[in-house]
Structure formats: C-alpha cells, structure tokens
C-alpha cells in the first residue's frame, strides 16, 4: 500500500464510500474478519516534514475507531481467538484483531488505557533489539538526517552525489527517493550500512530512537502481565527477512521468540514479518514461520480474512490504520473489504 499514491488511495476510498459501493460489495468481499495494523498512537506533532506520519494515528482518532468497531457489533478478539475461529470455522460473528507493531512506548502509555477501558484485547509484536536498545530505527534516522540538513552527500552506486534538501518540498522528495532506493538494496546489511554512515556523518544518534520511543523490558512486562495483551514476535533486528540467507532468516524468527520468553516468561505463538510487504516476506518466510510452530504470522499486505485463510495461517493480510487517512469512513470502507478487494484484483487469497 505504501507504493500507491496517497491521492489515488484517498480518491478510491472516498468514491467507494460516497457511492455506497462498499455496502454493495460487502457480502462478496467482506470476509469473516480483519486484522488491523497500528504503529504509534500519539498526538500529532507540528512540522510539515513528517514522512513517517503514516505510522501514527492520534489518540482521538484511535478512540473513535475502537468505539465505532464496538458500535458496529464486530467482536474485538485476541490472536488466539482469531486462530480458533479460523481453524474451527466459527464465523457466526465478524471479528477484528488489533495489532501494534514494534513495541513503542505510546502503545503502553496511550493505546493501552484506551483498550483497557473498552476491555478489548490486542497484540504487540516486539522486535527484541528495541527493548535491548540495540535496534536501528533506520527510517527515523534517515528522516532526521534530511530534516536537520540543507544538503547531504551520499555515495550511490559508487558515485558521490549531493542532494539539496533545504525546503520542505525538497526534503519530502529526497526522503521518498532515498527511502525507496534503500528499500531496493538487495541485501539488508548494505542498506543498514548506508544509513549508519549517513547518521554518523551528520551527527544523528541512531541508538537514541530506540531509547526515546520503544518500551524497555520492564514496560513490556507491564503489558505482558495483562491477559488482554498478547505479546508476539517481530524478529530480533527488524530486517527485511526475504533479503537474508536461509539460516539468518530462520534464526531472526526463532531467536526473537526465545529472547521474549526469557525476558517476559511468555512464549510468543504469533509472528509479524517486519515491513511485511512482498519484498520482505515471501513463500520461504511463510514456510519457516509454520515450521517453527507459530500459530499465525501476519504481513502488511492489505486484505480482510476469509475462511480459506485457515490454510494460510502464516501469511495473513492486515489492514493498516494509516496516519495519512484518519477518517472513520476510510476505516469502514477498508473493513468492508471492498478497497482491498479492488487492490487485490478481487482475489481472496494471494496467488503463491
Ligand atoms: Zn515493524
């Protein structure tokens, strides 16, 4: 979804809503339930250069979404309950799972009290290098480098290049260009090294993002102690798994589960693939997650759940609550399955 132009997406969501097409399509494409993806829930911040704003929604919007789901009569369920319904074919009522990726502190401080007040279960997928304070939130380091400088230099394909980024427009364009160039690097270590070098060169402390934004083990333990909360695995280092060699990919998934078990005394039964698009998780990752015994694994590929997903439990689609589209009507259209059905060419399951 990140690759679709925001104006196109917004236009599509609006037209589905205002034409009422999402109601007409619902019996065909609505499926039996859905999994929502969230990252940050926190108040909006000033500043026009916020390339990662899609990863955050405001507490007010989040509260309205949860209330709207409650009012619409869907069941808010845990991942275990979703797994039970899918495997037993219990589709008497539509259900939604709320999931939070990465383990940000605002999940504990802001989202948790809202969910607690509603008595609603949710899951947090933790990349264990984040509470261990060794993680690299490289997309934020890139943002900071561009935000704090008027011009930056970078060797691309062996050639030194300079980029102007004095204005907000230039910063946005440069972030977009460099972000997707980095994402296209064939190997994860190369990508990380480029960002590390950039950060070092421009005085950005990559490690600080973890400390400032992510829960530590004590904070995670507070969440883990509540039966409403499922702690899931999200690898150790948050890599694009599909770009790693076999052994490394497997160990990222397996080790993160053991580290969480050691830290929180709960063994995660559910996994979220970092980044989670086609370039990050593919057939090999789906197979390994199943072999390792995860009950479910989720991607970020957009879609609602159908009964047939019982045969694809380690490649479940999700619907992102995107900070660029904080309108209840967009969420309603997305949960109706009509928008994602169009994006997926009306296929219920992904082609292998
Ligand atoms: Zn993540």
pLDDT, tens digit, 9 for 90 and up, residues 78-117: 999 999 999 999 999 999 999 999 999 999 999 999 999 9
- Give residue 136 CA to ligand 1 midpoint distance, Å: 11
Ligand 1 center–CA 275 separation, angstroms: 6
Q: Percentage of the chain surpassing pLDDT 90?
A: 74
CA of 101 to the centre of ligand 1 (A): 5
CA of 238 to the centre of ligand 1 (A): 6
Q: What is the pTM of this model?
A: 0.91
List pLDDT tens digits, range 271-299: 999 999 999 999 999 999 999 999 999 99
Task: Let me know: does 295 contact 281? Beta carbons within 8 Å.
Answer: no
pLDDT tens digits for 185-223?
A: 999 999 999 999 999 999 999 999 999 999 999 999 999
In the Cβ-directed half-sphere of 327, how many Cα atoms lie within 13 Å? 12
Comparing 73-82, 237-246, 261-270, 338-347, the range with the smallest average pLDDT is: 338-347
Q: Report CA(24)–ligand 1 centroid distance (Å).
A: 34
Mean pLDDT, the chain, integer: 90
Determine the distance separating the centroid of ligand 1 and the alpha carbon of 92, expressed in angstroms: 32
240 and 188 Cβ atoms separated by less than 8 Å? yes
Residue 350 has pLDDT above 70, yes or no: no
Centre of ligand 1 from the C-alpha of residue 21, in Å? 32
């Amino acid at each position: 979804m990140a690759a679709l132009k925001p104006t196109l997406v917004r236009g599509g969501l609006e037209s589905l809503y205002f034409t009422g097409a999402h109601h007409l399509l619902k019996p065909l494409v609505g499926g039996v339930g859905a999994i929502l993806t969230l990252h940050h829930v926190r108040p909006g911040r000033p500043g026009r250069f916020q390339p990662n704003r899609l990863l955050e929604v405001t507490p007010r919007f989040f509260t309205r979404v949860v209330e709207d789901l409650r009012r619409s009569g869907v069941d808010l369920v845990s991942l275990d309950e979703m797994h039970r319904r899918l495997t037993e074919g219990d589709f008497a009522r539509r259900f939604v799972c709320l999931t939070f990726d990465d383990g940000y502190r605002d999940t504990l401080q802001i989202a948790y009290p809202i969910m607690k007040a509603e008595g609603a279960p949710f899951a947090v997928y933790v990349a264990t290098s984040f509470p261990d304070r060794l993680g690299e939130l490289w997309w934020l380091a890139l943002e900071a480098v561009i935000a704090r400088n008027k011009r930056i230099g970078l060797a691309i394909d062996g050639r030194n290049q300079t980029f102007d980024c004095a204005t907000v427009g230039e910063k946005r364009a440069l972030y977009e260009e460099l972000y997707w160039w980095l994402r296209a690097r064939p190997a994860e270590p190369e990508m990380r090294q480029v960002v590390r070098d950039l950060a070092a060169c421009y005085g950005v402390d990559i490690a600080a993002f973890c400390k400032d934004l992510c829960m530590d083990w004590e904070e995670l333990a507070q969440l883990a102690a509540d039966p409403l909360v499922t702690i899931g695995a999200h690898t150790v280092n948050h890599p694009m798994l599909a770009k790693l060699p076999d052994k490394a990919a497997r160990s990222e998934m397996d080790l993160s589960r053991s580290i969480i078990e050691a830290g929180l005394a709960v063994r995660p039964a559910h996994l979220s693939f970092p980044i989670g698009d086609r370039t990050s998780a593919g057939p090999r990752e789906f197979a390994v997650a199943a072999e390792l015994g995860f009950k479910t694994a989720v991607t970020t590929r957009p879609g609602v759940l159908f009964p047939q997903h019982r045969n694809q439990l380690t490649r479940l689609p999700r619907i992102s609550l995107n900070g660029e589209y904080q309108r209840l009507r967009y969420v309603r259209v997305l949960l109706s399955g009509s928008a994602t059905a169009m994006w997926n060419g009306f296929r219920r399951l992904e082609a292998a």
